[in-house]
Amino acid sequence: MEILTQVIKLLYRIRYWLIIIPLLAALFAIYQTKNLVRIYEVNTTVYTGIASGFTIESGLEGTRVDWNGVNNGIDNLISIIKARTTLREVSLRLYAQNMIHGDSIKDNNHIKAANYRRLVAITPKDVRVLINKNSEDSTVANLKRYERASPQNFVYGLFNWYHPHYSYDALKKINVKRMFNSDMLDIEYSADDPGIAYNTLVILNEEYVKQYGFLRFGETNDVIDYFRRTLAELGRRLRMSEDSLTQYYVEKKIINYEEQTKQVSSLAKEYEIIYYDILLKKTSSTIMLQSLEEKIMAQARMMEQNATFVSKLNSISFLSEQIAKIELFSRDSVVDNKALEDYKTKLTDAEK
């Protein structure tokens, strides 16, 4: 019990040292590691399709996978990915991309602000004017035209000398390995800038496909291009010959009897068909017009008959009214009797 009491008293006496010493050790560790470089690792998986992809022999009975050919194809693809030519294209595009999208104030998805400031600081003015902020392809083309195999050439030295992001020594650290015995590749890369590490693999995935297509189908494409050029030249000559022949026929007034006879006969048949079609339409229109005229005349006659009938009714009504007046008011007058007889005669004629 006395030992425990002594230990507690001792700890109480040095209580400040127990707090100060760990705190100083932590501050010292922070100070020593404040400039420690952080490494960011990225990786991507590529499906090559060399072993399990579709070919013209896929699905045929008795077809076997040539594993020697598959292994050779995958080894060739790995060699293309790590080739100096491929990495040079990656270096130029990565540099152009960082110069275009970099920001000296804040980090972004392409490059850190500190790395961008250092990059701009080492880039000569005659190289900075080659950067087209609106086009990555144009910038890369400008850099390629500027590049010369000289120690004083910045673009040449960027890849061939030492730079932590764009040099061959940095990019050759890209690790490419086959995943077991499959036709898939795992590509890994690490850098002190997450944007540069990520975009390096993005650009690499695009560039090795171009390089593989060029090497794999280059000869075939050359043959196809040759036949295309030959076919275009023959077509041009044929058109020139046809135009020249046509011009000669026109100038010399030469008639191709067979061809023109066929054309005249064809035109005659077409005109004949058009003529009978128009004649048929004209006949149909004439018959329709006659039918309409007959209907209109019938309606007119009917209306005329109706008008005559109404006129007769009015006349009969008038005569009847006059007869009624005379019979009612002038029964004994001779004159009225004579008028009455006249009205009756007219009424009889009107009723016929």
Tokens at 95, concatenated: 């540099």
pLDDT value, residue 146: 93
Closest CA to 216 of 49, 89, 44, 45: 49
Tokens at 109, concatenated: 């998805």
Q: Decide: residue 188, CB within 10 A, 0-12 exposed, 13-18 middle, 19+ buried.
A: middle
pLDDT value, residue 272: 85
pLDDT value, residue 335: 52
**pLDDT tens by residue, 40-90:** 999 999 888 776 655 545 544 555 666 777 788 888 889 999 999 999 999
Determine if the pTM surpasses 0.85: no
The DSSP line for 102-119 is --SSS--SS--HHHHHHH
Only one residue has tokens 């009491």, namely 5
Amino acid type, 146: Y
The sheet that has 40-47: what strands, in order across it? Answer: 40-47, 184-191, 175-178
Q: What are the extents of the domains in the chain?
A: 37-50+66-217, 301-352
As a whole number of angstroms, the distance between CA 139 and CA 119 comes to 16
Q: Provide the H-helix boundaries in the chain.
A: 2-13, 15-33, 67-81, 84-101, 113-122, 125-128, 136-146, 154-160, 168-171, 194-252, 257-329, 334-351
Task: Decide: 199 and 42 in contact? Cβ < 8 Å.
Answer: no
As a whole number of angstroms, the distance between CA 104 and CA 118 comes to 9
pLDDT value, residue 56: 46
Whole-angstrom CA distances from 319 to 66, 257, 315, 343 are: 125, 91, 6, 6
pLDDT value, residue 22: 79
Mean pLDDT, contiguous 10-residue spans, the chain (352 residues): 72 77 77 71 88 54 65 87 93 95 92 93 93 93 92 92 92 92 90 93 92 74 78 86 78 66 77 85 82 75 67 71 68 59 70 62
Quickly count: other Cβ atoms within 10 Å of residue 162's Cβ. Answer: 11
pLDDT value, residue 82: 92
